[in-house]
A = this chain, B = another copy of it.
């Protein structure tokens, strides 16, 4: 006979809705929370509530922010470059490496006919108006190097290039530190195609 506790089952079930959190991990979290000091759990709950209340999308670029404009969009005299990404988390990944004084633009998705997502279902129109208003010279498209990411990049490039905007795409090739032997054929093909003179 198994010891079933309804409220525990419910907690495990809710926790397993977290991204890539399986049932076993959710159970570990649930046991931890039930056993933890009340203060630990209260702090977590408070942090969730506060984040939900305070954080919304930047009116300009669509990234998360707790002000009207995010820190990137409110800086004085940014370079006229916009880096376009799929998700807010891509911004924080790029911020760590990208040495530039431009701004970002978060699409909150990509064009994906299979999922019934067209250009109007992502944060694209505001990119076009920004390009005009902010006198943008270059748009770097940093969507993921997968089918939907590529298609979205192509779509945006086709929109912007006729306007005389320079459109660039992040390089695709073999990952640093990896071994050629294990690179897939498409990646390797891209790495040859995009080779640079030394």
Contacts and interface: CB of A to CB of B under 8 A. Distances in A.
A3 interface: yes
Main SS of chain A's interface residues? Answer: helix
Nearest to A104: B3
Q: Considering residues A1, A3, A34, A66, which has the most beta carbons from chain B within 10 angstroms of its beta carbon?
A: A3
A66 B63 CA distance: 43
B51 A33 contact: yes
A28 B7 CA distance: 25
A48 B3 contact: no
Nearest to A54: B7
Interface of A: 1-8, 10-11, 13-15, 17-21, 25, 27-35, 38, 40-41, 43-45, 47-55, 63-66, 70-72, 75, 87-89, 91-92, 95-96
5 contacts: A6-B66, A8-B51, A10-B47, A33-B52, A45-B49
